[in-house]
Amino acid sequence: MSGKLIVFEGVEGGGKTSQIRRSQAWLSASGWLDQLRQTTPALPDPLLITREPGGTELGKYLRQLLLSPATQETLHDRAELMLYAADRAQHVEYLLKPHLAAGGLVLCDRFTDSTIAYQGYGRGLNLSLIQQLNQIATGGLTSDLTFWLDVEVSIGLGRAQQRNKDLDRMESATLSFHQRVQHGFQALLHQHPERIVRIDASQSEQVVFEQIQTLLSQRLQQWYPQLLPL
């Protein structure tokens, strides 16, 4: 894969979506994307902004099922795990791999670490089984850089509640569930320091973005030495 996959992770309310939007605006306004465009003639846009679940057409249905189920029937933890994996398999094959193969850059809201943190640490499902399932769903694709936007669970859930009064199925899980998820992200940082960077997301949106900008500039310069630096 000649492109690069950058992932934003973390518990609810860490500001992933806003930071992705800001990064996109910055990369575009700086003219850096225009330079990248010259090297990716096969792509209509060299930057792909996407998310899991919900990056594909099938994924949008799965997201709906996962976050706002139409029935009262409780989604079983293993069924939940497999729906996230199905969303990922579709997303990787139809969106991520083609874009990366053509040399594009991807900013993705959540990826494999969310499954380890939420279904593994949060729901308590077997971690090595989840790793195998992630491997099947991704065909071995891993992120080149993951920003873990680390915010204290109670602050993050408070922000999510302010944003939309009706919390979705995952957001309305218990505080202790979200604390286990948080613990999962901490464990992942220790296991994969080569690709995961922790950002203190309790800081203001602007300060968080400045830290992301610094790290992104460094990485993009390493990855694309032929382009002018940001």
Nearest residue (CB) to ligand TMP, 56 versus 114: 114
Minimal distance in Å, beta carbon 218 to ligand TMP? 26
**CA distance linking residue 25 with residue 102, whole number of Å:** 22
Cα of first residue to Cα of last residue in the chain, in angstroms, is 23
Nearest residue (CB) to ligand TMP, 12 versus 150: 12
* Structure tokens belonging to residue 188: 């992942």
Minimal distance in Å, beta carbon 201 to ligand TMP? 13
* Structure tokens belonging to residue 155: 């602050």
Nearest residue (CB) to ligand TMP, 95 versus 170: 170
Nearest residue (CB) to ligand TMP, 85 versus 220: 85
Closest Cα to residue 174, out of 106, 213, 124, 225? Answer: 124
Nearest residue (CB) to ligand TMP, 14 versus 46: 14
Minimal distance in Å, beta carbon 122 to ligand TMP? 7
Q: Which residues of 92-130 are buried (b: 16+ CB within 10 A; e: fewer)?
A: beebbbebbebbbbbbbbbbbbbbbbbbbbbbebeeeeb
Minimal distance in Å, beta carbon 26 to ligand TMP? 21
Minimal distance in Å, beta carbon 52 to ligand TMP? 4
The helix-helix angle for 175-191 and 153-163 (nearest 10°) equals: 120
Contact between residue 51 and residue 110 where contact means Cβ atoms under 8 Å apart: yes
Minimal distance in Å, beta carbon 6 to ligand TMP? 15
Residue ranges binding ligand TMP (CB under 6 A): 12, 51-53, 84, 109-110, 114-115, 118-119, 170
CB under 8 Å to 140, separation ≥6 — which residues? Answer: none
Nearest residue (CB) to ligand TMP, 119 versus 146: 119
* Structure tokens belonging to residue 225: 């030495």
